[in-house]
Chains A and B, each alone.
Chain A
Amino acid sequence: MFRGLWPVMRKEVIHIRRDPATRFIFAIPLLELLLFGYAIEMDVKNISTVVFNLDQQKESRELIKEFESTRYFRVTGQVYSDRDMESAIVSGRAKAGIKIPPDYSDRLVNGRQATVQVLIDGSDSTSALRLLQASQTLGFLKSLKKGGLTTEIAAVDVRPRLLFNPNLESANFFVPGLIGVILQLVTVFLTAFSIVRERERGTMEQLLVTPVSKEGLILGKLLPYCAIGFMQTGLVLLVMVLLFGVPIHGSVSLLLLLSGVFLIPALGMGIVISTFAHNQGEAMQAAMMVMLPSILLSGFVFPRESMPYFIYLLTFLIPATYYLEILRGIILRGAGWAALWDEAAILLGFGILFMVLSALRFKKRLG
């Protein structure tokens, strides 16, 4: 049944070793990891802010210091007219502007209500929301203090506590998800390409007249890429822990075991693609079609629960969705087998489906 498995595997390993593209196999995940971990900083901090201070007295200078001490605002310049403030925001030099009217200090001293205008660039909704909250909270707390009161007077004291990721580091959220995306990227692309390439170069024709079995041929091609997938997972995990300081709260061996389960549907998709694609260009397009939903809809970047209902239903059809649950569950929340067995079962189901589909589609014939 598995006739030819060994020789095909050995040959595939030689191809991988000699292929100049191989050196990117480990560079690409690392690059993506650094990009998502560092460059795409979703944490809102130190937003450039310009100040238009018409008051210039002690109270107004204190207020600006208080804005800065929230760590959301960072004063990058002073402006001296409404027009300058606006142009600073329109041009993108600043994302926020604080305008203090000339009578600010006087009104405060006289016990009257003072106004402060805060302009926020709303085009980046994530940052804008944080700045809005921060400025409102600042005003509220400052008002209480001025009246000699503390938050203890509040009738309801809400005390939220952030679990698992107390500092809201976005790396903690992205990096585990990235493992899933990278693992799928490599397995789907590489397996699809390695099979389509044989067809394109005519070597498949020669293989098909030999007594190599369908199963031996497919598995012999898959297993080396499985091994690469595991090595990449290990590498990304290592970098995650050492460089980004994201701890793994759960069991590493469970994580690796369930990664192995995820490889089955991922590699299966690669083979299914290879049975449809006639050349590497087509395989590339098909693989992209699989990758995009896996990146956008799996919850890698956007929370699935906030998607429109129809799209939300679609996310259940994407294997990466379940793997990301597993990754974040184990790494961030320390989840164990009891919490994750259903995701694993669904992945296995997808795996069997794709394997059956590819076995049906893959014929030991041409044309």
Chain B
Amino acid sequence: MEAMIRAEGLTKRFGDLLAVQDVSLEISRGDIFGFLGPNGSGKSTVIRMLCGLLQPTAGRAELDGLDVGAEAEEVKTRIGYMSQRFSLYEDLTVQENIDFYGAVYGLGSSELSERRRTVTELVGLEQRQGQMARTLSGGFKQRLALACSLLHRPRILFLDEPTAGIDPVARREIWDLLFRLAGEGTTLFVTTHYMDEAERCSEVGYIYQSRLMVRGRPQDLKQLPEVTPAGTQWFAVLCDEPMRALVLLRGLPGILDATIFGEAVHILARERTGKSAIEGFLRGEKMGYVDCRQVPPSLEDVFVSLTRRHRGGLEA
């Protein structure tokens, strides 16, 4: 597989603040790379360094085989970028925004009108070409931004929290679009806070306190021994009162971790605290319906465990 995005030891320092520390990546063509991490952990800084918007303090990046520092202008014709904030012109109409970016990317008028038709159809903006960007809803603004970043058929698309603050239906539609683009061979680099979005990525990376802590395919990360240490297993407990169960289970010896996940309580338990022991314990607490089953850890479990281990490691 050819690597479309390659980063080696990317580091960024703002004065005394070490924003990104030694991040190395390799992402193949057609992959959707999900980049996760808490706010302020350095996600946007990594994206900006990869796009050539920020110069790294150390390390280098290569996109589509081109050095980002040395061949910045050539790189720019091959990438698309959608920033966290809506960064198009609010006082321009949908079509004016698209035409402006098309022209900046050097599309001729016939090519531009063909691409305009294609991308507006793709993102579902055909009916709103004359609408002022200011008056679009959050979801449509994101679609417009996506449309503008796709005009020049980028080989790599960077999306910084493309679904932040938009409704679930629009969120889903944007992800359907991203899958379609990936299917057509575009490499995507997406930051997100949503674990369900991360689960859909072909590969994910988790950045915490400016370091890339882990990187891999979601199913591989769930097999990591750090997440499920020897002699422990993950359970999902379904019951009537998950909040009360959470508190009770946290007090039970043999339970290493308990957290709410959807409607269930996810727990990491020592092997001797098995299914029947947990069910028996909760029934003893007068909980009616209890169903405990062994499950693989969720991605959230993976990241929480890794973060906790990292913190523990720092404290030890």
B130: min CB distance to chain A, Å: 13
- A14 pairs with B104, CB closer than 8 A: no
Per-residue CB proximity of B83-109 to A under 8 Å, as 1/0? 101111111100010011101111000
- B55 pairs with A365, CB closer than 8 A: yes
- In residues 271-293 of chain B, which contact A (Cβ within 8 Å)? none
- A209 pairs with B104, CB closer than 8 A: no
User: In whole angstroms, how far apart are the Cα atoms of A11 and B92 in the complex?
Assistant: 8
- B83 pairs with A206, CB closer than 8 A: yes
Residue of A nearest to B154 (CB): A209
With A205-B53, A211-B77 known as contacts, the answer to whether A366 contacts B83 (CB < 8 A) is no
A361: min CB distance to chain B, Å: 16
B284: min CB distance to chain A, Å: 57
User: Taking the complex as formed, is A112 at the interface, i.e. its CB lies under 8 A from any CB of chain B?
Assistant: no
Which residues of chain A come closer than 8 Å to B76, judged between CB atoms?
A: 209-211
With A8-B104, A11-B100 known as contacts, the answer to whether A365 contacts B91 (CB < 8 A) is no
Residue of B nearest to A4 (CB): B104
- B104 pairs with A205, CB closer than 8 A: no
Per-residue CB proximity of A7-37 to B under 8 Å, as 1/0? 1101100110011000000000000000000
Residue of A nearest to B73 (CB): A211
Partner of B104, one of A19, A202, A207, A367: A207
Partner of B89, one of A4, A11, A211, A367: A11
- A205 pairs with B87, CB closer than 8 A: yes
- A367 pairs with B106, CB closer than 8 A: no
Partner of B87, one of A4, A201, A365: A201
- A202 pairs with B100, CB closer than 8 A: no
User: In whole angstroms, how far apart are the Cα atoms of A365 and B14 in the complex?
Assistant: 14
With A7-B103, A18-B91, A207-B104 known as contacts, the answer to whether A367 contacts B51 (CB < 8 A) is no
User: Taking the complex as formed, is B81 at the interface, i.e. its CB lies under 8 A from any CB of chain A?
Assistant: yes
- B87 pairs with A212, CB closer than 8 A: no
User: Taking the complex as formed, is B260 at the interface, i.e. its CB lies under 8 A from any CB of chain A?
Assistant: no
Q: How many residues of B contact A (CB 8 A)?
A: 32
- A14 pairs with B92, CB closer than 8 A: yes
- A367 pairs with B14, CB closer than 8 A: yes
User: In whole angstroms, how far apart are the Cα atoms of A210 and B78 in the complex?
Assistant: 10
Residue of A nearest to B82 (CB): A206
- In residues 235-259 of chain B, which contact A (Cβ within 8 Å)? none
Per-residue CB proximity of A338-367 to B under 8 Å, as 1/0? 000000000000000000000000001111
User: In whole angstroms, how far apart are the Cα atoms of A11 and B97 in the complex?
Assistant: 9
User: In whole angstroms, how far apart are the Cα atoms of A272 and B263 in the complex?
Assistant: 58
- B14 pairs with A210, CB closer than 8 A: no
User: Taking the complex as formed, is B58 at the interface, i.e. its CB lies under 8 A from any CB of chain A?
Assistant: no
Which residues of chain A come closer than 8 Å to B27, judged between CB atoms?
A: none
User: Taking the complex as formed, is B25 at the interface, i.e. its CB lies under 8 A from any CB of chain A?
Assistant: no
- B54 pairs with A366, CB closer than 8 A: yes
User: In whole angstroms, how far apart are the Cα atoms of A11 and B89 in the complex?
Assistant: 9
User: In whole angstroms, how far apart are the Cα atoms of A365 and B99 in the complex?
Assistant: 24
User: Taking the complex as formed, is B48 at the interface, i.e. its CB lies under 8 A from any CB of chain A?
Assistant: yes
Partner of B105, one of A14, A18, A210: A210
- In residues 184-240 of chain A, which contact B (Cβ within 8 Å)? 201-203, 205-212
Of A10, A18, A203, A209, chain B has the most CB atoms within 10 Å of the CB of A209
User: Taking the complex as formed, is B37 at the interface, i.e. its CB lies under 8 A from any CB of chain A?
Assistant: no
- A7 pairs with B104, CB closer than 8 A: yes
Binding site for B on A (CB under 8 A): 3-4, 6-8, 10-11, 14-15, 18-19, 201-203, 205-212, 364-367
Question: 5 A-B residue contacts at CB 8 Å?
Answer: A4-B103, A15-B91, A206-B88, A210-B101, A367-B14
Q: A15-B89, A18-B91, A365-B52 are in contact. List 13 more A-B contacts (CB 8 A).
A: A3-B106, A15-B92, A19-B91, A201-B90, A202-B85, A203-B87, A203-B88, A206-B148, A209-B52, A209-B53, A209-B79, A212-B104, A367-B14
Binding site for A on B (CB under 8 A): 14, 48, 51-55, 72-73, 76-77, 79-81, 83, 85-92, 96, 99-101, 103-106, 148
